[in-house]
């Protein structure tokens, strides 16, 4: 798999982000808690590694709670604080404020002339991780633009969150080429790669195989499948793994009435249903990347 999707404006945006780094104190990187590694832009990590950083594991209401804690520990081992948040409900945002202030205070001795001034944050994140929702929640949905600062173009605007914190928003930036299949598929499952880029049936079928391996119980409960029937399919030594997944997909189709003329199962409809149910949390709390 090799997906190229790097519009010209994204190269310009990356250049602007690198330029803006000199203006800020802390980088806030918003990731999707269901795919923390796949949603991290590798193309910008080298540029931000010299800055203090806080990881925001957004959409944690949709991800596996046990895996949530493991991912927090994973980043902690790298000396990067990570906070679990749900930008829709506001859960975790009190912790965000505390962590930002702690990180700033720990490094304030490095900031000459910064005592008494606002903490300046750059919020980064690829499309669809909920960056805008995070910023709106941080700004209490009353984003106040702050005047231009020295060295900042007239078009650049800051958002004042409080007397202590200012945010610099950045557009969502992807990277030039996706050549790692698991990363590409994870981004497709969550909708970051738009549905028209890859065939829906292919994406839905691949997601089904992942769910069968790690969240079979969720599938059985959501679609009211017979545990005995599913077990018989999985134990069938004649069937190849893809054939087993196809049998499960057809079983879901029969339970949901996804039948077309001639009694065939409408697999595209099932694929769309699987993706929608995963993305909206109807399949339960699911994490696609497991922390070791």
Which CATH number fits the domain that encloses residue 132?
3.40.50.300
Asked if residue 285 belongs to a domain, the reply is no
- CATH number of residue 242's parent domain: 1.10.1580.10
Q: pLDDT tier at 144 (50, 70, 90 boundaries)?
A: very low
How many domains does the structure of the chain reveal? 2
One domain for residues 33 and 171: yes
Sign of CA dihedral 207, 209, 212, 213: negative
Neighbours of 201 (CB within 10 A): 15
Same domain, 90 and 171: yes
77 versus 193: the higher-pLDDT residue is 77
Give the pLDDT of residue 151: 36
Are 204 and 135 part of one and the same domain? no
Asked if the model's pLDDT at residue 83 lies above 90, the reply is yes
Q: Considering 177, 207, 229, which residue would you say is the last residue of a domain?
A: 177
In the structure, what pLDDT confidence band is assigned to residue 152 with cuts at 50, 70 and 90? very low
25 and 139 fall within a common domain: yes
Q: Give the model's pLDDT for residue 214.
A: 96
Residue 227's Cα: distance from chain center in Å? 31
Asked whether residue 187 is assigned to any structural domain, the reply reads no
Least confident of 56-70, 87-101, 106-120, 251-265: 106-120
> Is residue 147 pLDDT above 80, yes or no?
no
pLDDT digits (tens, 9 = 90+) for 236-273: 999 999 999 999 999 999 999 998 888 899 999 999 99
Compute CA distances 156 → 17, 23, 38, 53, 151, whole Å. Answer: 11, 12, 29, 22, 10
Same domain, 146 and 94: yes
- 29 and 125 together in one domain: yes
Q: Are residue 242 and residue 156 in the same domain, yes or no? A: no
Question: What is the mean pLDDT of the segment spanning 182-188?
Answer: 90
* For residues 104-133, average pLDDT: 76
pTM: 0.86
Query: Residue 178 has what pLDDT?
Result: 57
Same domain, 270 and 227: yes
Q: Name which of 244, 252, 245, 258 is nearest 221 in CA terms.
A: 252
45, 155: one domain: yes
Q: Are 146 and 9 within one domain? A: yes
Token pair listed for 136: 């709106």
pLDDT at 50: 81
Q: How many CB atoms lie within 10 A of CB 133?
A: 16
Q: Say which range, 15-19, 94-98, 225-229, 283-287, has the weakest mean pLDDT.
A: 15-19
Check whether residue 99 and residue 211 sit in a common domain. Answer: no
Same domain, 117 and 208: no
Handedness of CA 83, 277, 224, 237 (dihedral sign): negative
Residue 186, Ramachandran bin (φ over 0: left; ψ between -120 and 50: alpha; else beta):
alpha
Query: Positive or negative, the Cα torsion across 119, 122, 128, 129?
Result: negative
* Region of residue 243 (left: phi > 0; alpha: psi -120 to 50; beta: else): alpha
Both tokens of 243, joined, read 């054939």
Q: What is the pairing mode between strands 177-178 and 3-4?
A: antiparallel
The per-residue pLDDT for range 37-82, each reduced to its tens digit, is: 999 888 777 778 888 999 999 999 999 999 999 999 999 999 999 9
Give kind and range of the element (H or E) at residue 160: strand 158-160
Q: How far apart are CA 265 and CA 270, in angstroms?
A: 9
Most confident of 130-134, 182-186, 209-213: 209-213
pLDDT of residue 174: 57
| Domain contains 188 | no
| 159-166 contact pairs (CB < 8 A, 24+) | 159/135, 160/118, 163/118, 164/101, 164/118, 164/119, 165/97, 165/100, 165/118, 165/119, 165/121, 165/138, 166/118, 166/119, 166/120, 166/121
Task: Give the whole-angstrom CA distance, residue 5 versus residue 172.
Answer: 13
Domain limits for position 12: 3-177
**pLDDT exceeding 90 applies to what percent of the chain?**
54
Q: Please give the pLDDT value at position 150.
A: 37
């Amino acid at each position: 798999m090799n997906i190229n999707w790097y519009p010209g404006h994204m190269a310009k945006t990356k250049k602007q982000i690198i330029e803006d780094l000199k203006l800020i104190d802390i980088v806030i990187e918003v990731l999707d808690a269901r795919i923390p590694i796949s949603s991290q832009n590798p193309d910008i990590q080298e540029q931000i590694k010299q800055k203090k950083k806080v990881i925001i594991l957004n959409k944690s209401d949709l991800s596996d709670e046990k895996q949530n804690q493991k991912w927090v520990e994973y980043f902690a081992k790298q000396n990067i604080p990570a906070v679990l948040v749900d930008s829709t409900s506001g859960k975790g945002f009190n912790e965000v404020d505390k962590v930002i202030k702690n990180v700033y205070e720990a490094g304030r001795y490095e900031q000459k002339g910064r005592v008494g001034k606002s903490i300046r944050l750059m919020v980064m994140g690829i499309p669809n991780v909920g960056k805008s929702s995070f910023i709106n929640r941080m700004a209490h949905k009353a984003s106040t633009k702050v005047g231009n600062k020295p060295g900042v173009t007239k078009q650049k605007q800051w958002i004042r969150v409080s007397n202590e914190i200012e945010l610099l928003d950045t557009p969502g930036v992807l990277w030039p080429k996706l050549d790692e299949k698991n990363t590409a598929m994870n981004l497709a499952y969550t909708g970051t790669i738009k549905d028209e880029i890859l065939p829906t049936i292919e994406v839905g079928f691949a997601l089904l195989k992942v769910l069968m391996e790690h969240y079979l119980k969720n599938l059985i409960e959501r679609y009211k499948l017979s545990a005995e029937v599913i077990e018989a399919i999985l134990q069938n030594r004649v069937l190849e793994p893809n054939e087993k997944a196809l049998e499960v997909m057809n079983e879901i189709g029969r339970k949901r009435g996804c039948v077309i003329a001639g009694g065939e199962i409408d697999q595209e409809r099932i694929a769309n249903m699987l993706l929608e149910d995963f993305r909206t949390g109807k399949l339960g709390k699911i994490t696609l990347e497991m922390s070791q």
